[in-house]
Amino acid sequence: MIQEAHPALAPERRDRIRSLVREGGVARVEDLRKNLKVSVATIRRDLEILEEEGKVKRVHGGAVSMESRLEESVFDDKTSQASKQKKRIAEDAFNLVGHEESVFLDGGSTTLFLARLLKQRTDITVVTNSVRAMEELADSGPRVIFTGGEFRRISQTMVGPLSSAILEQIRVDKAFMGTMGFCLKNGITTTDPNEAYIKRVVAENAGQVILMADSSKAEKVSFARVSDWDQVDILISDHDIPKDFTKTLRKRGIKVRLP
Amino acid sequence: MIQEAHPALAPERRDRIRSLVREGGVARVEDLRKNLKVSVATIRRDLEILEEEGKVKRVHGGAVSMESRLEESVFDDKTSQASKQKKRIAEDAFNLVGHEESVFLDGGSTTLFLARLLKQRTDITVVTNSVRAMEELADSGPRVIFTGGEFRRISQTMVGPLSSAILEQIRVDKAFMGTMGFCLKNGITTTDPNEAYIKRVVAENAGQVILMADSSKAEKVSFARVSDWDQVDILISDHDIPKDFTKTLRKRGIKVRLP
DNA sequence: TCAGAAACGATCAAAATCAATCGAAATCGA
DNA sequence: TCGATTTCGATTGATTTTGATCGTTTCTGA
């Protein structure tokens, strides 16, 4: 058997597979084979090992990443419209981040997509109270400041008075927020009062507040009130949002972006 | 046998191998041979030694570094002696945690083993600045308070003045600390001054300070001084620690446990 | 539901790597 | 200087990894 000039070491190759699977969320065996220039048998064997280690989950035709909690939750509806919209919203938000700025990311899947994009940047500072965003940025990328506080398992975020201890000491250029619901009458609402409180503190200490919410959140009202619309500078949503909604918000001086 | 003009001394060569492996994360035997101009047999022997020392992990075709990424696979490497000792130390520490107590865990692999054990408990509160410990406890287990602050990638911990903002507001019953080195003369030392500072703040706000360090750390001195021995209440180590070490510490009122 | 296609798992052979052994060279102590 | 010890390199048989083949299973579309 003739080996190539530089046959990648087995762990090296598996690491490569791992990140390829993680990047795309899923990967086909055939694509991996072309990318790594080894036989499908080797790919399969590697996937078997990676599955034992719990890094990926094998499926017919390829494998799914088990490392990113982002995929874990989004996987089942990866192709769904909602997920695509969230991704587009995140990409649009990414373009708003300027050079050497500091940004805040709160919990939620939309901001998590943004976190993944921000991984490329090393010139910025990311402040977050989301453990998932933290994990996403743990290996490389921007400077990260984590708020700390009490851990809330349901949302995988840090909440409570201890969190604000740090938040009050810092100021960010832009705060990217998710939400459970927003409507013209009640403003922004979310499920947990503690989380609502954190969002308020952040909004007060941010240059710009950018709300990222797909149209499924429109006209929804949740339990805990976060803030009124006058706190929000920009809303990024999608085209399925009611027309009069956009119109009213723009009249109130809020920039509405529909990528 | 004809030696070259400058036959590198054996330890010198092993040091070279070590850094080569660390730089690339991995290195194949053939490349090392070309680089160091010795036979593959020598390279293999060196790798064998370096593996025993825990510096690298041998794989078919070469070796991977155990130093670069803060051992992503602490839990995989169940066979190594060092890992076994750490586990035993963690199990002993686990028995010290009383009902409804609050404990602090800092970074490092030994405390990570403890974190895994603490996952069973739901009556306690865990305070930590280690992202790894956080992840370990993210799904279920005790109440978790995270210190937050600036993220230090190398150690995967939170450090800096922002961290102390939260730490100063809380008090724990027991603080479980790891360390890079400890000796009778210089006390506890670690690599990073920021981390040393956090450890000091924690020690001041803890009822008991419990140092978890296997014998490989004994008589090692690192860059940043953490504290003197009078801050420490209990040392958990193993039987390979020098006898006079134990004796002296006990004379100074420190409980030494060797599980 | 059924047939064709794609993907899978098991098996085997080739190639590379590894471990063990032995002998040569260098170093050290007397 | 001599002999013992250590370190290194080469050889050889064993082991591991990899790729190809082939029968079986799973998926897909009619």
For chain B, say whether A168 makes contact (Cβ under 8 Å).
no
Distance CA B133, CA B127 (A): 10
For chain B, say whether A4 makes contact (Cβ under 8 Å).
no
Top-confidence residue, A79 or A238: A238
| Confidence band, pLDDT 50/70/90 cuts, at residue B82 | low
| Confidence band, pLDDT 50/70/90 cuts, at residue A1 | very low
Judge whether residue B71 has pLDDT over 60.
no
Predicted model pTM: 0.77
pLDDT of res. A7: 64
Name which of B31, B64, B162 to mutate to probe chain A: the one with the most chain A Cβ atoms within 10 A of its Cβ.
Answer: B162
Return residues 169-208 of A near B (CB < 8 Å): 169-170
Q: Name the residue with the least CA to C1' distance from nucleotide C17.
A: B61
Judge whether residue B79 has pLDDT over 50.
no
Judge whether residue B77 has pLDDT over 90.
no
* Strand D reaches within 7 A of the B18 CB: no
Q: Which two tokens stand for residue B79?
A: 């066979």
Name which of B119, B146, B194 to mutate to probe chain A: the one with the most chain A Cβ atoms within 10 A of its Cβ.
Answer: B146
pLDDT tens digits, one per residue of B133-180: 998 898 889 999 999 999 998 788 999 889 988 898 899 999 999 998
User: What number of helices (H) and strands (E) belong to chain A?
Assistant: 10, 15
pLDDT tens digits, one per residue of A160-170: 889 988 898 89
For chain A, say whether B221 makes contact (Cβ under 8 Å).
no
| Confidence band, pLDDT 50/70/90 cuts, at residue B73 | very low
CB contacts of B135 in chain A (<8 Å) are 131, 135
pLDDT tens digits, one per residue of B182-232: 999 889 999 889 889 999 999 999 999 999 999 888 888 888 999 999 999
Nucleotides of D under 7 A from a protein CB: 7-11, 16-21, 26-27
Does B169 contact A170 at a Cβ distance shorter than 8 Å? no
Does A143 contact B134 at a Cβ distance shorter than 8 Å? no
Q: Which two tokens stand for residue A207?
A: 């240059």
CB pairs under 8 A between A and B: 91
pLDDT of res. B12: 87
Q: Which nucleotide is nearest to A2 (CA to C1')?
A: C15
Say if CB B213 and CB B258 are below 8 A apart.
no
Distance from CA of B215 to the nearest CA of A (A): 30
Q: Looking at the partner chain, which of A147, A150, A156 has a beta carbon nearest the beta carbon of B138?
A: A156
Mean pLDDT of chain A: 88
* Strand D reaches within 7 A of the A45 CB: yes
Q: Which two tokens stand for residue B134?
A: 């956080």
pLDDT of res. A224: 92
pLDDT tens digits, one per residue of A101-141: 999 999 888 999 999 899 889 999 999 999 989 988 987 78
Would you tell me the crossing angle of helices B40-52 and B29-36 to the nearest 10 degrees?
A: 110
| Confidence band, pLDDT 50/70/90 cuts, at residue A6 | low
* Strand D reaches within 7 A of the A35 CB: no
Q: Looking at the partner chain, which of A7, A134, A166 has a beta carbon nearest the beta carbon of B166?
A: A166
Does B153 contact A138 at a Cβ distance shorter than 8 Å? yes
Mean pLDDT of chain B: 87
Q: Which nucleotide is nearest to B47 (CA to C1')?
A: C18
DSSP 8-state secondary structure symbol assigned to residue A76: G
| Confidence band, pLDDT 50/70/90 cuts, at residue B250 | very high
Count of CB atoms situated within 10 Å of the CB of A240? 12
* Strand D reaches within 7 A of the A99 CB: no
pLDDT of res. A77: 46
For chain B, say whether A142 makes contact (Cβ under 8 Å).
no
| Confidence band, pLDDT 50/70/90 cuts, at residue B75 | very low
Q: What are the phi and psi torsion angles at A208 (to 5°)? A: -130, 140
| Confidence band, pLDDT 50/70/90 cuts, at residue B68 | low
Say if CB A229 and CB A252 are below 8 A apart.
yes
Q: What are the phi and psi torsion angles at A139 (to 5°)? A: -80, -45
Residue A235 burial by Cβ neighbours in a 10 Å radius (0-12, 13-18, 19+) = buried
Does B146 contact A143 at a Cβ distance shorter than 8 Å? no
Virtual torsion, Cα B38, B41, B45, B48, nearest 10 deg:
120
Q: Name the residue with the least CA to C1' distance from nucleotide C6.
A: A61
pLDDT tens digits, one per residue of A64-103: 988 765 544 444 444 456 777 888 999 999 999 999 999 9
Please give the average per-residue pLDDT across B243-251, as a whole number.
Answer: 93
Whole-Å CA distances, A157 to A95, A114, A183, A195 = 25, 16, 24, 8
Task: Sheet containing B26-28: give its strands across.
Answer: B26-28, B62-65, B56-59
Does A11 contact B26 at a Cβ distance shorter than 8 Å? yes
Q: Looking at the partner chain, which of A139, A162, A170 has a beta carbon nearest the beta carbon of B145?
A: A162
| Confidence band, pLDDT 50/70/90 cuts, at residue B72 | very low
What is the number of alpha carbons within 13 Å of residue B25 lying toward its C-beta? 12
pLDDT of res. B67: 67
* Strand D reaches within 7 A of the B41 CB: yes
| Beta strand B26-28 pairing with B62-65 | antiparallel
pLDDT of res. B55: 84
pLDDT tens digits, one per residue of B5-49: 345 577 889 989 988 888 888 899 999 999 888 999 999 999 999
Beta strand segments in chain B, E: 26-28, 56-59, 62-65, 102-105, 125-128, 143-146, 149-152, 157-159, 172-177, 181-183, 187-190, 206-212, 224-227, 234-236, 255-257
